Structure 1
Amino acid sequence: MLLMWVLMESLSSTCPPIGIGCSSEKLQQHYFTNNNALTAFTRRAFEVDAEQEPGERFRNPRHLRLPRASITELQGENKTVEQLWQQFFEDPSQWWDTRFDKTNARYPDFKHKKTGYALWVDGGSNPHWVKKRLARMTPGTIQRSVFSWNTAISKHVNDGQTMKALELFKEMKRQSITPDKFTFVQVLRAYSASGSHKEGKFFHREITQSGYELDPFVANHLIDMYCKCGALEDAFEIFNKLPSCDVVTWTAMIMGCVKCGQGERAIDLYQEMWQKNVQPDEVTFTGVIKACASIGALEAGRQVHAQAIEKGYDFDIFVASCLVDMYTKCGSVAEASKVFNKMPAHDLVSWSTMIVAYAKCGQGEKALETFWQMQQKGMEPDKVVLINVLNACTGILALEEGRHIHVQAIRMGYDSELGVGNCLVDMYSKCGSLEDACKVFSLMPNRDVVSWNAMVAGHVRCSQGEKALELYRQMQRECVVPNSVTYLSVLNSCALLKSLKDGRLVHAQAIANGYESDLFVSNCLIDFYVKCGNIEDACRVFHNMQVHDSICWNTLIMGFVKCGQGEKAIELYQRMLQQGVQLDLVGFVGVLNACASVAALEEGKRVHAQVIQCGFGHEIFIGNALIDMYTKSGGLDEASKVFNNMPSRDLISWNAMIGGYAMHGLAMQALRLFEQMGKQSVEMDCVTFLCLLSACSHAGLVDEGHYLYEFMNPVYEVSPNVSHCSCLVDLLGRAGCLGDAEDMINRLPCQPSVSMWMTLLGACRIHGNAKMGERIAKQALKLDPVSASSYVLLSNIYASSGEWDSRANVQQLREERHVHKQQGRTWIELNNQVHTFVANDRMHPQILDIRAKLDDLFQQMKEEGYIPNTRFVLHDVEEEDKGASLLYHSEKLAIAFGLISTPPGTPLRIFKNLRVCGDCHTATKFISKIARRPVLVRDANRFHYFKDGACSCMDYWTLSLKACLDCKVQQ
């Protein structure tokens, strides 16, 4: 370090002033000058404004020139160098060392604490003895100035080295240097950057003790520190203490509220600021516009916009960019576009903001158009713009445009940027070009978890589950730590493959990496287990979740419905209500599906009421679900009301209503609705004709069914598929035209499906044609040897015709192949509870009362002319035991339970998972007459409505069976 020597001739009255000091204080600055010997020094003083920050003092100091001492007087002092050294460095502790982190060359290197003498060091021209003197001085003898400390602390804060800044402040205190308000401000900036609320609050006490708490400059930074640490109430405490607040303070509080997510409070502060006549500046407008954007306050944003225009800040590029962002987030892209178009000039930020606005609002075409306009104006995009425009291409699946932008990224050298590469992989995979996505991925110099996630998700989207799993394993081999998004994609791939083993392994890895409590991962796990049919593991994941959102409730409810456990789905829904969870649109659809699956009409009505209460009554998805629920639960009139009151209908609505009429055997109503569809020009699909053919089948309308089938393609442009063929086979088979049905199957240009043969086998069972049934069963078993239905139907055919040995052979073959048949169940809903019965049930708590009721009914039915049809007893037992076996079928048990559990005259609704047997059909007619009760029975195919001894099916089903049996007896 060398003492600077300045030649006397170089000094002049025009020498630029140098300012150090406080307000209204004259500071002397002495220049040591020498040409190999000290000749003179001059004096200059000036005055600076105390409110200026240190950096400002050197740029625009207000100064006062003092008379310059004559050269003769200075030379006349005739002092030696030693005398001068002793004069100025007699007590080195009285000097500040300001060389550390000095940014302004005009600022002195040493400054005397009392006299204000200023010294400079320079290289080369200083005497050797000066170098030696300074070298022999003990380090730290000359202290660093407060300004120097402040500069060093500020530099560390600006560089993001907050810990070093705080350590420097502690060292400053250890050297007993008294900090000024600028020191406190720099330390507050460090605490703001680190987010250390506790330490910042402790430092606040030190500021209070120093008397700077209410200094506006310090107070503003205190408010900023608390806001950035999330301690908004502490910031308000300081704000409320201040005797007066300027625009900077108000703006700091508004920005703090925005940062802490309290947009409404920020707007209230802004309005209060206006009431107190504090005029906002451009930063204030920026803050309050961001507040409006954060809470979607469009009207408030418009008012702020008008005030910004009034104050002339609407053309400020930052204010205008914030307005564009605000209008975008509030859903008014048109207004955002107007603001953008009125801007006198656009920089890269404003162009990017508008592109992002269009991309986020789903207007990808506009985003691309803006991007091309930006380039026409000669503005080169940066990587942020490229990322956003690539996202816009992804949103609208604009593959070719995405390729052009890819070329630009390569030309500008951004293709190697990680963010751009990730967007390219995502764009190509979502646009269906998985090959291009793989090429980009393989050429990326660096890949992070986002890159891998995009590739895994892309393969899942293209139904390449195996490849997605392989990528996941490769990702682990390369030591890339997966995140929640990774697990979502991988679990979806496992669900796609129905791979329970792989999914469980991924589940274990998610737990090991700490994602067990992640809400999205848990929801995906529930969905995975549900899709794999493992409802037990899905329930375990659900019960282990600490927080439940509507998605997990909905997924589990739908899981129970898919697994045939509608009762548990309804129980879960009721539990959901007890916990105060509000259902969304998807949740209501799921619960209505659950009610439909178990025909819980009363519960479905309550759900319907809640749907209306929540404002979803006019949603088309809800209307469709309500029609399905009411038709499957026996509430055909309610379904018709829902259908007629729907403000708009889609094809699903029409199909659901036609299907409902078909299930209830009301073929003519279904055909009339079909005609109405034609008049309203509703485009039909294959489901429409499937429902119509089913309606014709249940009503025996053979000619109408033939007409619909023949004219599907030429008139309605709907090609028949396997399901339509099966339905026509069922129609012919029910009508007794078994030969025509078999001929139709044999004439098909393609190989018949198992369902076709099964349909015809069912018809053979209905009409008791054992010979044809045996031939058809062989065809069905050839295609599906593990189908339980084929064995059961053929076994029943043999039993109905009394061929017990043949039946035993079929049963033995089924057991050898370990094929298990579905057990017949019948259930009834009473008092919000579903009661389920099986044949000869003995488990119900009221079984003795039920059997007693059936015995009593049996006697009354016999008196009315009922004769048990023992042909439906499929066991080789004595005739006298067959009647008793029929008496305790699950249908009759459910009806008897309903009779003893409800008041006289109450209609009964029972439901069966298989077709109702002929004897139960006959017995129910007698019971409806004896008990004077309407009885609605839904079996696996249709509804039967019994009243006063008659059925809505007009005995079409049983008459067909009787005709066939009588024909067989005659033969």
Structure 2
Amino acid sequence: MKVCRLAFSPLSHFKRRSFASHFSSIALSLPDEPIDNSNLKPRFTPLPSLSPNLDLRLTTQLHGYLTKLGISNTPPHCNQLITLYSKHHVPLHARNLFDEITEPDIISFTSLISCYTQNHLHRDAFFSFRFMRDQSVRFNHFTLPTLVKSSTASTDLLMGTQIHAIATVAGLDLNVYVANSLITMYAGFGLLNLSRRLFDDMPERNIISWNGLLAGYVGNGKFEEAINLFRDMIIEGLKPNEHGFSCLINACTDFGDLESGLAIHGFIIQLGYDSDPYTVNSLLNMYAKFGDLCAAEIIFENLAKPDIISWNVMIAGCVLHEQTSRALQLLKNMRICGIIPNFLTLSSILKACAGYGDVYLGRQIHCYLIKTDLSLNLYAGSGLVDLYAKSGHFEDSIQAFDSMEDRDLITWNALISGCSHNDKHEETLSYFCKMREDNCDINRTTLSAILKSTAALEAIINTKVIHSLAMKLGFLTDPHVVNGLINSYGKCNVLKDAAQNFDECLIDDVMAFTSMISTLSQGGQGEEAIRIFLNMLRKNVRPDTFVFSSLLDACSSLSAYEQGRIIHALVVKTCFMDDTFVGNALLDMYAKCGSIEEATSAFDYVPEKGVVSWSAMIGALAQHGQGKTALELFQKMVHQGIMPNHVTMTSVLYACSHTGLVDEGKKYFESMRETYGIEQTQEHYACMVDLLGRAGKLSESKELVNKMPFKANAKIWGSLLGAARLHGDPLLGELAAQQLSYVEPDKSGSHILLANLYASSGMWDSVSHTRQLMRKWGIKKEPAMSWIETKNEVHTFIVGDRSHARSREIYAKLEELGEEMAKMGYVPMVEEVLHDLGRKEKEELLSQHSERLAVAFGLISTPEGSPIRVKKNIRICKDCHVALKFISKIVSREIIVRDVSRFHHFRDGNCSCNDYW
């Protein structure tokens, strides 16, 4: 029999030289003549060198050739062919081949089980093991780890524990290969105690044992245990491999421990793993996510040949920390180096474009994605949806979304957040419903975007639906969702539900407290806001600048001066005085509580005075009747190079209006566009109408209204009506009131002002007719209310109020003051009373106005000589204005009244407004 020494003829038809070379190891042992199976058993050798490189076509050709030789059903050849088919993901071929084996051995079964495991056919792997045992074929320490791996991959803990039991009975449970697989399995199920027990019981451990437990600790968030295990490795003289180091670095990244990461980096350098791509990429990721892009760049530049992962990590890190230009430069360098970007690269670049607002580059990337068939990729598609949504190209965002074949949570969130961001609130709710129909999960990002839209729409029913859904899915412990609910309830003006939601959530989070305090403050519930703040302090939650700003707003709305001073002390104690945001809030609080001196002091302390600070101070001075000082401050602001905005100019015009500076007001109004490039708004025109009207220039005021470039709003007509009342012009008053009723048909202000105008003109029939119309249309006068704070408690009064605990003392004080005022020449202005009553009843009614009750209470409950601060929800009446001037002289105390229009400082029988109000 001839034996071919160099090659054999049946392989001559294979053209690939590589394939022939793979057969060189068996060429010497295969005959070039047909084999007589009856007389000769063929000699053969295993085929280990074929496994890594043969593609599927060559594998099937080899299979065919071995079949032709009649040796394809022998275990050694079959076992290796099964392994090859497994690697090519054709388990059916492997199974058919296995069935041809006459007497499968342990290697045959193990190869088949491994094939099923690698191809995710875990049930078939378990059935094959059962069949193996039925055939009385013994398993070994290579069979069991494969089955354990199948249990882990199929999340079948029961099967895994059964395999563990079989291993224990067979005495293989502490075998290093079996135990390593069990450690990984139990860690994957979160049973770290079992993993640790196995690890400790192992008589022999290898580096895979340590890495398996290490990965288990990291994967289950046990960062401290992972670091301790790493220390134990070092103590035992073991050197972690690249996988262990990579796992540790990733843990330091995930748990925000840069210090430990730096120490581990030192070990990596010491042990020479700083050139390993796997480890280096983990280091790049750590430094990039911690924001140390310089360190990341040094590592990156020292790489001999960065791979696609290295480039992606660097680009993603730059995008994460808003280093958009660096990210784009890296993309350019990547292309120069011949590295083709993948969908992860382009997803990061799309994020950069979204953050940078570069739609042009985004469209170029979109074209590239279409050209390379990556546009349908989930990551890239979601990036496109997000880019177009954030840049305001909503229709393009919808088109990108619709073109995607598959959508996940990130895609839906990008679209829904984009709708909300672009104020497409109806569409937000519509797409959320479609998302639910698509059976897609939701997260806090989804709920936060939806709640932003329900708040904007003031949709209370939808808010309650989302509240129920958040409760069902367990999101009421998430501060972002709770804040969204609080804000939405607040915007829907259901503050009770907002407070209840906050109390039920039991979140001791500064963000939640800030949201609740801000919502209550904006909703006029200042007392409740302060209560929440006190509760916050009791829970040892440290307030931040936003909490203090919201609290100071609450004190401002209540004119709670004493409580505001306490908050100021806490601001100083917590070292927030250097914060501009808080400084502006302090300025506003003191100004609205009537202390212009302390407001000025707060302004002086603001570290970086911007246009907001200057505008607030100018407005405060104007409201307190210091118009000339306000204008001087405005000139100082301009000289310092601070450009005014529309708010500043409103305050300047207000100062002119309430000080009677007509010429100056006209000059500033005309200079807005010419000097400062500010277009006049309705608010500015309202100030000018008020300025001219107060000065008695009614014709000029009316002419300005007629010449405005837009339709007059309620504020403008209200200013004209107020001027008509002030100067007794019923015809102009009727015109303004009629127009005002068209703009605000449900408000009582215009009707009350008109009735007062008729009353002051002696037109009592018209007064009666106006009141009848109010009753007919169901328009109710807003009840006058006044507030005063004493001993950190806010007291509220209404006209004729006798519900206060000290009512007897209050009315006794008013009677005493009335007698003193009468001696000084005070005569009640009974024409201010619109009711059809006798003079005595009208005088009594005037004496019981809410601001007088509040002042009387202040006189009997505050230290002698201290200022009295009162807030009123509507304009102070003429009679009370006169009366409070008398009272200030009698008691020798300053009385500060903040009404809906301005501040009145009553001192020694005079008012800061100089009766120009």
- TM-score interval, smaller chain: 0.7 to 0.9
Asked if residue 102 in structure 1 is aligned to residue 79 in structure 2, the reply is yes
Q: Decide whether aligned partners of structure 1 residues 210 and 852 sit closer, same or farther in structure 2, where only a CA change above 3 A counts.
A: farther
Asked if residue 186 in structure 1 is aligned to residue 123 in structure 2, the reply is no
Matches within 5 A, 1:265-284: 265-284=225-244
Amino acid at match of 1:413: D
Q: What is aligned with 1:746? A: 706
2:622 is aligned, of 662, 668, 683, to 662
For residues 748 and 39 of structure 1, the distance between their equivalents in structure 2, rounded to whole angstroms, comes to: 114
Q: What is aligned with 1:904? A: 864
Q: What is aligned with 1:433? A: 393
The Cα of 1:536 is off from its aligned counterpart by: 4.2
For residues 105 and 397 of structure 2, the distance between their equivalents in structure 1, rounded to whole angstroms, comes to: 59
Amino acid at match of 2:338: G
1:825 is aligned, of 785, 790, 802, to 785
Q: Decide whether aligned partners of structure 1 residues 474 and 208 sit closer, same or farther in structure 2, where only a CA change above 3 A counts.
A: closer
Matches within 5 A, 1:371-770: 371-447=331-407, 450-472=410-432, 485-500=445-460, 520-539=480-499, 541-542=501-502, 545=505, 547=507, 549-770=509-730
For residues 472 and 208 of structure 2, the distance between their equivalents in structure 1, rounded to whole angstroms, comes to: 49
Amino acid at match of 1:35: D
For residues 601 and 594 of structure 1, the distance between their equivalents in structure 2, rounded to whole angstroms, comes to: 11
The Cα of 1:325 is off from its aligned counterpart by: 0.4
The Cα of 1:742 is off from its aligned counterpart by: 2.8
Amino acid at match of 2:553: N
Q: What is aligned with 2:274? A: 314
Q: Decide whether aligned partners of structure 1 residues 531 and 705 sit closer, same or farther in structure 2, where only a CA change above 3 A counts.
A: same
The Cα of 1:187 is off from its aligned counterpart by: 4.3
Q: What is aligned with 2:308? A: 348
For residues 703 and 40 of structure 2, the distance between their equivalents in structure 1, rounded to whole angstroms, comes to: 129
Q: What is aligned with 1:840? A: 800
2:877 is aligned, of 907, 917, 941, to 917
For residues 298 and 819 of structure 2, the distance between their equivalents in structure 1, rounded to whole angstroms, comes to: 86
The Cα of 1:546 is off from its aligned counterpart by: 6.2
> Retained in 2: the 8 A contact 1:101–1:151?
no
For residues 889 and 684 of structure 2, the distance between their equivalents in structure 1, rounded to whole angstroms, comes to: 38
The Cα of 1:327 is off from its aligned counterpart by: 0.6
For residues 265 and 666 of structure 1, the distance between their equivalents in structure 2, rounded to whole angstroms, comes to: 67
Q: What is aligned with 1:63? A: none
> Retained in 2: the 8 A contact 1:664–1:943?
yes
Amino acid at match of 2:899: D
The Cα of 1:308 is off from its aligned counterpart by: 2.6
For residues 445 and 241 of structure 1, the distance between their equivalents in structure 2, rounded to whole angstroms, comes to: 51
Amino acid at match of 2:705: I
Q: What is aligned with 1:870? A: 830
Amino acid at match of 2:713: S
> Retained in 1: the 8 A contact 2:82–2:111?
no
How big is each residue's C-alpha offset from its partner over 1:253-299, in whole Å with a ceiling of 9 and x where there is no partner? 44333222244543454345445433333223212222332233334
> Higher mean Cα deviation, 758-767 or 298-307?
298-307
Matches within 5 A, 1:925-940: 925-940=885-900
Report the 3-state secondary structure (helix = DSSP H, G, I; strand = E; otherwise coil) of the residue aligned with 1:836. Answer: strand
Rg comparison, structure with higher value:
1
> Higher mean Cα deviation, 910-919 or 413-422?
413-422
How big is each residue's C-alpha offset from its partner over 1:178-199, in whole Å with a ceiling of 9 and x where there is no partner? 6544344334434544566787
> Retained in 1: the 8 A contact 2:479–2:511?
no
> Retained in 2: the 8 A contact 1:146–1:177?
yes
Q: Decide whether aligned partners of structure 1 residues 749 and 43 sit closer, same or farther in structure 2, where only a CA change above 3 A counts.
A: closer
Amino acid at match of 2:308: L
> Retained in 1: the 8 A contact 2:389–2:397?
yes
> Higher mean Cα deviation, 424-433 or 253-262?
253-262
Q: What is aligned with 1:35? A: 36
Q: What is aligned with 2:758? A: 798
For residues 602 and 146 of structure 1, the distance between their equivalents in structure 2, rounded to whole angstroms, comes to: 87
> Retained in 2: the 8 A contact 1:800–1:874?
no
For residues 598 and 818 of structure 1, the distance between their equivalents in structure 2, rounded to whole angstroms, comes to: 29
The Cα of 1:243 is off from its aligned counterpart by: 6.9
Report the 3-state secondary structure (helix = DSSP H, G, I; strand = E; otherwise coil) of the residue aligned with 1:103. Answer: helix
RMSD between superposed Cα atoms in Å: 4.1
Q: Decide whether aligned partners of structure 1 residues 418 and 105 sit closer, same or farther in structure 2, where only a CA change above 3 A counts.
A: closer
> Retained in 1: the 8 A contact 2:291–2:317?
no
> Retained in 2: the 8 A contact 1:166–1:187?
yes
For residues 288 and 635 of structure 1, the distance between their equivalents in structure 2, rounded to whole angstroms, comes to: 59
Report the 3-state secondary structure (helix = DSSP H, G, I; strand = E; otherwise coil) of the residue aligned with 1:835. Answer: strand
Q: What is aligned with 2:284? A: 324
> Retained in 1: the 8 A contact 2:885–2:910?
yes
The Cα of 1:777 is off from its aligned counterpart by: 2.1
Report the 3-state secondary structure (helix = DSSP H, G, I; strand = E; otherwise coil) of the residue aligned with 1:826. Answer: strand
Q: Decide whether aligned partners of structure 1 residues 196 and 246 sit closer, same or farther in structure 2, where only a CA change above 3 A counts.
A: same
> Retained in 2: the 8 A contact 1:197–1:231?
no
Q: Decide whether aligned partners of structure 1 residues 417 and 839 sit closer, same or farther in structure 2, where only a CA change above 3 A counts.
A: same
The Cα of 1:829 is off from its aligned counterpart by: 2.0
Q: What is aligned with 1:93? A: none
The Cα of 1:688 is off from its aligned counterpart by: 0.8
The Cα of 1:756 is off from its aligned counterpart by: 1.4
Q: What is aligned with 1:114? A: none
For residues 355 and 509 of structure 1, the distance between their equivalents in structure 2, rounded to whole angstroms, comes to: 37
Q: What is aligned with 2:810? A: 850
Q: What is aligned with 1:62? A: none
Q: Decide whether aligned partners of structure 1 residues 444 and 223 sit closer, same or farther in structure 2, where only a CA change above 3 A counts.
A: closer
The Cα of 1:614 is off from its aligned counterpart by: 4.5
> Retained in 2: the 8 A contact 1:289–1:326?
yes
How big is each residue's C-alpha offset from its partner over 1:872-914, in whole Å with a ceiling of 9 and x where there is no partner? 3332322222221111110111122223333434432211111
Q: What is aligned with 2:56? A: none
How big is each residue's C-alpha offset from its partner over 1:353-390, in whole Å with a ceiling of 9 and x where there is no partner? 22222222222332233223323333223323232222
Q: What is aligned with 1:964? A: none
Q: Decide whether aligned partners of structure 1 residues 571 and 462 sit closer, same or farther in structure 2, where only a CA change above 3 A counts.
A: same
The Cα of 1:625 is off from its aligned counterpart by: 2.0
> Retained in 2: the 8 A contact 1:429–1:458?
yes
Give the fraction of aligned pairs with identical amino acids, expressed as a percent: 36
For residues 873 and 285 of structure 1, the distance between their equivalents in structure 2, rounded to whole angstroms, comes to: 86
Q: What is aligned with 1:291? A: 251
Number of corresponding residues:
861
Report the 3-state secondary structure (helix = DSSP H, G, I; strand = E; otherwise coil) of the residue aligned with 1:699. Answer: coil
Amino acid at match of 2:80: T
For residues 613 and 237 of structure 1, the distance between their equivalents in structure 2, rounded to whole angstroms, comes to: 51
The Cα of 1:328 is off from its aligned counterpart by: 0.8
For residues 166 and 586 of structure 1, the distance between their equivalents in structure 2, rounded to whole angstroms, comes to: 60
> Retained in 2: the 8 A contact 1:827–1:912?
yes
The Cα of 1:755 is off from its aligned counterpart by: 1.4
For residues 518 and 716 of structure 1, the distance between their equivalents in structure 2, rounded to whole angstroms, comes to: 46
For residues 174 and 866 of structure 1, the distance between their equivalents in structure 2, rounded to whole angstroms, comes to: 115
The Cα of 1:827 is off from its aligned counterpart by: 0.8
Q: What is aligned with 2:734? A: 774
Report the 3-state secondary structure (helix = DSSP H, G, I; strand = E; otherwise coil) of the residue aligned with 1:946. Answer: strand
Amino acid at match of 2:322: G
- The unaligned stretches of length 5 or more in structure 1 are 1-6, 19-32, 47-53, 60-96, 108-121, 124-130, 136-141, 958-971
For residues 83 and 807 of structure 2, the distance between their equivalents in structure 1, rounded to whole angstroms, comes to: 105
